[in-house]
Amino acid sequence: MIATDMDQTFLNNQNTYNKDRFKELFNEMQRQKIHFVAASGSQHERLRALFTPYANQMDFISQNG
């Protein structure tokens, strides 16, 4: 499992990320059976919206836990 904080860690200053690069990495994590978790104090819906293509294949820690 890989869990990462979102705000100012995974996300850049514009609150976005390199979606093409993440797609490559996410597919490789899936191939290796590594589970990805996005963690943030933000609302659950905001996190899911950031990862729409992958949201059903990952987990979220939101709203400060």
Query: What residues act catalytically?
Result: 5
Q: What residues does 59 pair with on adjacent strands?
A: 37
d(CA 37, CA 14): 21
Cβ(3)–Cβ(39) below 8 Å: yes
